[in-house]
Structure formats: structure tokens, C-alpha cells
Structure 1
């Protein structure tokens, strides 16, 4: 029986000591191998093109091209280079794990939207780092559980501050556009104008009829930001909320008193209905729509 090839990892960080430390931990495992190191985003993109790593550990704040822009370019590059045949052995995409110091990096959500498969704190335990690399390589997503709610709520609090130039009034109620987070580099434009929103639902999905939400300060009801929310069944919303709380499939099964295969089916349906690539984007969707 042919031995499995080790998971190829690229480490991207502008601090050499950080790169060396991560490399020592990763190379201590038989099933993992560091194939390269980069000190900035531009070098990371080039090494991904040359080395085709399975997983990239990507710092957010770096001189020159930062981690968010690099993540976006890696995703765009892979889409452009997608082989015609999925069976040629080169179809496995490079997946990105964003590394953050949390207190300084306020733009991790932008990296998630840019295509990252998750994020970890730089002070995470070595065992967690190794397990996360394996998890992401298998096609799943990871989020630092201790940081998820605080980080996303911080980002959403900033997003809910209306842009004065974009505010319009309707029936006495202010309907404002809320800008998406941008890259740590001031020169980068907002991630996508298509993500600008006009209203957000309340935390309780049952508080208003499907497809409607009361806007603070006004009397009119306007559509949800995400119409996909109305496609979810009541049980799927329950599962989505537990996903946003950081629970695993097994924990969701125990929490909702349902079988594990049923949870997996619900998760698959949720991701399809809300057009989410993985659980990370599902968590962002839940927070943006105030399900949690």
C-alpha cells in the first residue's frame, strides 16, 4: 500500500522567528511538511504558484501586500488555473488559515470573505495548530473558538455605523449602508460593494414575519439583507445558530437531541441554501443576520 504524501504547508509571516517556530512544530509531524516560507503577501502568492502547497498559514499584517490581499489573489489565481479535468491530481486547492494576534488584527472577517478557510490566534497551542492544518486540508474550516464571538461582534459593531453619505430616509426611518471591513492597508478598497446592506434582522428569527425586519428609528419594514435566510427551515436555523456558537456536529446532535447523520445533512443543506463555502462563512452569515 502506497504511503500517503505529507500535507505541504507554506508559512507566511514577516517575523522570521515566528516562521521558524511554526516550522519546527509542523516539521516534527510525519504527516506534515513545511515546503516554504514567505515574509510578505507578494512572495506568498508567488510561492503558492511555484510550490502548490496544501495549506498556507497566513499572517494578516505584513509590509507591502498584506495577508488579506494575498488570500484574495491566491483564490483568484487558483480559479484561473483550475484544470479542465478534475482527475489529473492537481485539482486540490490551496487552503488558507489566517493567523492573527486578535487584539491588533481587526480585519479577519475580511480575510474570511476573501477566501480563507478559517483563522487561529498566534498563541494557539501547538496541538491545536497541527489539528487545524489537518482539518483544513480535509476540506473543513476552523475558527479559534475563544475569539469567534468577540471578534465578529466587534466587526459588526463597526459595520453598523452608517455612512453619512449613504443614508437615505424612508417613511421617517433611516436606512443606511454599512461598509464592509477593508484590508489592513488603507489603500485597499472595501471588499465588495455588493455586500453593502440596508437593514438587518433582529436576533430572534421569529420576531418578525419571514422576509421582513423592523428598522430602528423608523416605522417601515424592509427586506432582509440575505434572502437566503428565509430558505432555511426552523430546524436548519437552530443548527446554524449552534454552528455559530462554535459547536461541532457531535455537540449539535447532543444539544438538539438528533442523530449525527441528521446534523450532517442539515449542515450540508444550510451551506447550499446560504451559498456558503464552509462553516466559517456560515458563522459570518449567522452573525451578520443577527441569529446570534
Structure 2
């Protein structure tokens, strides 16, 4: 049963999401927050599985709150001897527009997906369950569109964690960046699905990544996904 922290500065939206989750079997509401600061505090107190995070809020916005929540989880995991950033809370950001620079930046700091606020109530629960399972909520092409619009290619030195990856892990990260699923990667590299899952997990742990969407962004920004894409089309 995933526990969900609901974060939105608008009372009607926040209370409506809470009521929907409370009434749905298999979901539990961990709490409600009206701003980013309260979200950071409640996330540390309640350790939710999923955070429904509004992006635009006064004061600490959803992007900053997402980054702080995931960083706090990573620090907590390290203190308790369970240093695995990828097992932290999954953040599902709430937005008015799906082609928004704010959405890209939320994904870049570790959000697992985004949900447009006019999504019908009966279509809310499946996305929450999807990100809770560790899957990307949207198609790779939708994410690639955001990256193409807003990403600035990064200097390799800006992420020294890349140097810790083995050649195989870099190859797998590139295929994740190209939008391939674990099953597709396994078929491409003639590996078992379990082996691919292990490689993906190690990549995310070494780079301190919190979601598969964030792995796609990193792979693209550092040129791994771009090279893979050209090779795949040859």
C-alpha cells in the first residue's frame, strides 16, 4: 500500500486529491502540505512512498522541495547504512502545462514523472502506482521533447560520477537514455533482464540518481544517449 504526501498551495486541489486517495483501496495519505517548506518537513517525518508535488508555489517551489526531499532521503539512508538514493520517495509533479521548463527542471533534480492538473480523477491512481513501482510515467519521446527544448549539454567534468561507471554500465545508461526498457536493453545486449536491472541499479546508485527519468536526462546531457541513438539507427 503506497503512502502518498499531497503538496499543493491551493486548498481545493489539495483536499480533493486527499479525498480521492483516502477513498481508494490500496492507498494511504501520509499527510498534506501547503508549501514546499512544509513538504520537506513532512516528507522527513512520514517517509512517504510517493509525493504529489505542485511545481508553482510561493516561497520554496516544487522543484527546490523535490531536490531537498530526495537529498534528505539520501543523507538519511547513508546515516542508517542503507545508502541507496534510488529507493527514496517517488515524486510526481503536478503542472498546468506538460511542455513546461519547470517540468524539465523537476525531472532533472529527480522527479519520477509529471501529471497535468486537469487529469480526470479516475486517471490519477494509476500514475501514482506507476511511479511507486519505479517506472517512468510518460513516453520516452515526451521526455526527449522536454530535454531537446530545455537541456544544455553539460561538461563531463561536472559529473565525476561518470568516471566510476564500467564500460557496460555506460552502455546500459546510454540505452536507458535512448528510451529503451530493461527488456529492450536485455534483448539488445543479449543479457538477462535481471542483469540489466542490476546494471541500471548500479548506475543510479553511483550517480546518485533518484528516478529513471533523471537517468534519461543525465544520459542525454552527457552525450551517452545521443551516441547510442545514432548507433541504433545505423
Question: RCO (CA 8 Å, sep 6+): is it higher in 1 or 2?
Answer: 2
> What's 1:121 paired with?
115
Deviations 1:204-227 (A, max 9, x none): xxxxxxxxxxxxxxxxxxx76556
The aligned runs of 1:61-210 (5 Å cut-off) are 61-78=56-73, 85=80, 93-103=88-98, 105-114=100-109, 116-122=110-116, 123=118, 129-138=124-133, 140=134, 142-145=136-139, 147-156=142-151, 159=152, 197=154, 199=155
TM-score of the pair, normalised by structure 1: 0.59
Unmatched 5+ stretches in structure 2: 227-234
* Pairs aligned (count): 218
Pairing partner for 1:46 from 41, 46, 71: 41
1:251 pairs with 2:184: yes
TM-score of the pair, normalised by structure 2: 0.71
Could you tell me how far 1:277 is from its partner in structure 2? 4.2
Q: Which has the higher helix share?
A: 2
1:63 is paired with a residue of what secondary structure?
Answer: coil
- C-alpha change, 1:45 and 1:269, in structure 2 (3 Å) is closer
Pairing partner for 2:25 from 30, 37, 40: 30
Rg larger for: 1
Deviations 1:61-118 (A, max 9, x none): 112221112223334544565696569xxxx85442222334563133433444x341
- C-alpha change, 1:76 and 1:103, in structure 2 (3 Å) is closer
Could you tell me how far 1:9 is from its partner in structure 2? 0.9
Deviations 1:149-179 (A, max 9, x none): 11111111xx36xxxxxxxxxxxxxxxxxxx
Could you tell me how far 1:35 is from its partner in structure 2? 3.3
- C-alpha change, 1:150 and 1:46, in structure 2 (3 Å) is same
Unmatched 5+ stretches in structure 1: 1-5, 161-196, 200-222
1:19 is paired with a residue of what secondary structure?
Answer: helix
Deviations 1:223-277 (A, max 9, x none): 76556269442x5444333322333212333455543223223323433554544
Contact 1:229–1:274 at 8 Å: present in 2 too? no
Contact 2:63–2:106 at 8 Å: present in 1 too? yes
RMSD: 3.6
